[in-house]
Homo-oligomer: A and B are copies of this chain.
Amino acid sequence: MSKKRVLIVGGVAGGASCAARVRRLYEECEIVIYEMGPYVSFANCGLPYFIGDVIVEEDKLLVATPALFESRFNIRVCTDTQVLSIDKENQSITVRDLKTDVQRLEHYDALVLSTGSQSVWPDIAGLDLPGVHVLRTIPDSRQIRSELKNIQRAVVMGAGYLGLELAENLIKRDVQVTVLQYSEQVMSSLDQEMATYVAKHLMKHGIDLRLSCKTTEIAQNKDGSLQIMLESGEQVTVDAVMISVGVKPRAELAIQAGLDIGAYGGIRVNEYLQTSDPSIWAVGDVVEVKNIITDEWQLFPMAGPANKQGRLAATDIVRKKMSTIPSVPYRGIQGTTVCGVFGLTVATTGVNEKILKNCTSIEYEKVYLHPSNHVGYYPGASPIHIKLLYDARNGKILGAQALGESGVARRIDVIAAFLQMGGTVYDLEEAELCYAPQFGATKDPVNLAGMIAANHLRGNHPLAKWEQLVESHAQVTEEQDDIIQMLSLIMDDPFAQAQLVDVRTEAEFQRKHIPQVVNIPLDSLRERLHELSQEREIWVVCGVGQRAYNATRILQQHGFQVRNLSGGMQTYAAYED
């Protein structure tokens, strides 16, 4: 009897890890990887850094060669080979060798589609001009590198992780960079108020960032430079354009073969990464995945999940086609991401508030905090800005966003671990984490996030909503400023909502404060309670939320209706922009 055959289409993250795992679980089968490009298993996450000369040697990007697959894993790799079609009935694929143009038929017992994703091209004229690039492959990066000496100015279209990594690396190569972003914020994984920190950071590092910016056309000037026309009428002249507005699943093969495709264009798979055909599996950017929090399908084109899916698909293939081994289902994705730009780390896990707003089955709450990465008395402390989202009914962690210069990935990874285990804010509160002066604090940022939220859920720490404040203030200051000024003279408070009290010191208050707020420093609050009305709710604010929490406790126990504006003036600044 001939050996079972496992054919794998696409040999980067998911495909390569699937192939190696099949081999480890089963010696007696034939495994072939088909890869359209010239390389297998290359480090596509490293490409921006290759542009920036952070990674200098191209060879370093090759994680494994066809020769290694052969000698170590007894896996055959066919590079420069395109898979043209799938015949599900006969369990075969048609393959074309791109060098010889010869086609052939290959039988499979198990087929794995790991075809990845491709760049989305925006719908504008001029994308075929020389100097317009995408960055997906080693040849792409080689091409961009070769042109760099002639690039003084570049536009990066798209302010996602890849676009911003690319922008940073172009600046490292002394290119002037303009980032054009269609939506009103960078990094869609973040909520808008958190994204404002990133936007400021980018501008501080010399990026010309344009948000809510629609490009209509790219044209070529006589000197060969490119002219970017914006809907606003503005124009930008550059030497190169990098398109990075997103990716979409490369699902053509699956579509042709009639496999189930999801609403986002990705291949539908079950919890074992098996497609609607029982002999075909699919992994990586090409599949849709279930979000473990919302239980909704989505795309999540990230290398980590692709690798894990490849591994699990391998287990299932061996289990169903070759040998008896235990089944291991895929638990879905939870949305952990990280990105570094100009020394700022931005990381997320779980879902953001934009998603939760559209998710009517979940009642959520949120807190903001700005703790230091380690105790202030040890040199080099820097703030981490954190937003934690949790279930208002039981405290279950729903998501977290954090950014700062140090210790950010660590805190998000810890919250990711709790989230995976179904943990609550009470679990964060009591977590026993690494502490020494250079590594954290006796109350780690993760503990603090949990404590603030747990205090809130226990009723000791009612929270106010910045959105309400900022919206009403925006209305006021833009439209009715004169009337309000008049009203202020005759009324204690022009707003229906609340008395605003800033409990910072007078000096801090003088530097900057929210309009219409009264300053009562925390340390004199107990003596000045008579200045406040018991008739209307009090909203308290301080620098980062801690003193306002103490004020909230004092006021609450003295019979006032009170709420803390979570995250203090630091969060106000984020909302204000």
A→B interface (CB under 8 Å): 13, 17, 23-28, 43, 45-46, 49, 54-55, 60-61, 63, 68, 71-74, 161, 165, 302-308, 311, 325-326, 331, 333-340, 345, 347, 349, 375-379, 409-410, 412-414, 416-418, 420-423, 427, 430-440, 442-444, 446-447, 451, 458, 460, 522-524, 526, 549-550, 553-554, 557-558
How far does the alpha carbon of A24 sit from the alpha carbon of B459 in the complex, in Å? 13
Contact partners of A311 in chain B: CB under 8 A: 451
- B433, A304: Cβ atoms closer than 8 Å: yes
User: Mind listing 8 A-B residue pairs with CB under 8 Å?
Assistant: A46-B375, A46-B437, A304-B443, A306-B442, A336-B432, A338-B434, A417-B418, A417-B421
How far does the alpha carbon of A334 sit from the alpha carbon of B442 in the complex, in Å? 15
Contact partners of A379 in chain B: CB under 8 A: 54-55
- B435, A378: Cβ atoms closer than 8 Å: no
- B435, A55: Cβ atoms closer than 8 Å: no
- A72, B442: Cβ atoms closer than 8 Å: no
How far does the alpha carbon of A49 sit from the alpha carbon of B437 in the complex, in Å? 9
Other than the given A336-B432, A409-B440, A420-B432, 12 more pairs (CB < 8 A) read A23-B553, A46-B377, A49-B378, A49-B438, A54-B379, A304-B444, A331-B430, A338-B436, A409-B434, A414-B414, A420-B427, A421-B422
- A421, B427: Cβ atoms closer than 8 Å: yes
Contact partners of A333 in chain B: CB under 8 A: 432
Contact partners of A378 in chain B: CB under 8 A: 46, 49, 54-55
Contact partners of A418 in chain B: CB under 8 A: 417, 421
Interface centre among A13, A326, A435 (most CB of B within 10 A): A435
Shortest CB distance A563–B (Å): 16
Contact partners of A436 in chain B: CB under 8 A: 45, 161, 165, 338-340
Given contacts A378-B49, A427-B421, A553-B25, contact A413 B442 (CB under 8 A): no
Contact partners of A558 in chain B: CB under 8 A: 27
Beta-carbon nearest neighbor of A330 in chain B: B430
- The oligomer's copy count stands at 2
Given contacts A336-B432, A337-B434, A416-B433, contact A442 B409 (CB under 8 A): no
Beta-carbon nearest neighbor of A412 in chain B: B434
Shortest CB distance A46–B (Å): 5
Beta-carbon nearest neighbor of A339 in chain B: B436
How far does the alpha carbon of A153 sit from the alpha carbon of B437 in the complex, in Å? 26
Given contacts A410-B413, A423-B421, contact A435 B304 (CB under 8 A): yes
Contact partner of A24 (CB less than 8 A), chosen from B61, B443, B460, is B460
- A377, B432: Cβ atoms closer than 8 Å: no
Contact partners of A63 in chain B: CB under 8 A: 377
Contact partner of A340 (CB less than 8 A), chosen from B165, B439, B553, is B439
- B420, A557: Cβ atoms closer than 8 Å: no
Shortest beta-carbon contacts, A-B, top 9:
A338-B434, A410-B410, A421-B421, A417-B417, A71-B523, A60-B377, A409-B434, A307-B442, A27-B557
How far does the alpha carbon of A60 sit from the alpha carbon of B550 in the complex, in Å? 23
Contact partner of A25 (CB less than 8 A), chosen from B165, B420, B427, B460, is B460
Contact partners of A73 in chain B: CB under 8 A: 550
- B72, A522: Cβ atoms closer than 8 Å: yes
How far does the alpha carbon of A26 sit from the alpha carbon of B460 in the complex, in Å? 11
How far does the alpha carbon of A13 sit from the alpha carbon of B437 in the complex, in Å? 14
- A43, B437: Cβ atoms closer than 8 Å: yes
Shortest CB distance A293–B (Å): 12
How far does the alpha carbon of A420 sit from the alpha carbon of B432 in the complex, in Å? 8
- B345, A26: Cβ atoms closer than 8 Å: no
- B46, A433: Cβ atoms closer than 8 Å: no
How far does the alpha carbon of A340 sit from the alpha carbon of B189 in the complex, in Å? 34
Given contacts A439-B340, A458-B325, contact A24 B434 (CB under 8 A): no
Beta-carbon nearest neighbor of A441 in chain B: B304
Beta-carbon nearest neighbor of A347 in chain B: B434
- A334, B440: Cβ atoms closer than 8 Å: no
Shortest CB distance A157–B (Å): 21
Shortest CB distance A372–B (Å): 13
Contact partner of A417 (CB less than 8 A), chosen from B72, B414, B460, B549, is B414
Contact partner of A458 (CB less than 8 A), chosen from B46, B326, B339, is B326
How far does the alpha carbon of A549 sit from the alpha carbon of B23 in the complex, in Å? 12
Shortest CB distance A183–B (Å): 22
Given contacts A54-B379, A377-B60, contact A303 B435 (CB under 8 A): yes
How far does the alpha carbon of A321 sit from the alpha carbon of B46 in the complex, in Å? 60
How far does the alpha carbon of A379 sit from the alpha carbon of B52 in the complex, in Å? 12
Shortest CB distance A273–B (Å): 13
Shortest CB distance A420–B (Å): 6
How far does the alpha carbon of A342 sit from the alpha carbon of B412 in the complex, in Å? 27
- B338, A435: Cβ atoms closer than 8 Å: yes
- A45, B432: Cβ atoms closer than 8 Å: no
Contact partners of A161 in chain B: CB under 8 A: 436
Contact partner of A409 (CB less than 8 A), chosen from B375, B410, B451, is B410
- B434, A336: Cβ atoms closer than 8 Å: yes
Beta-carbon nearest neighbor of A67 in chain B: B523
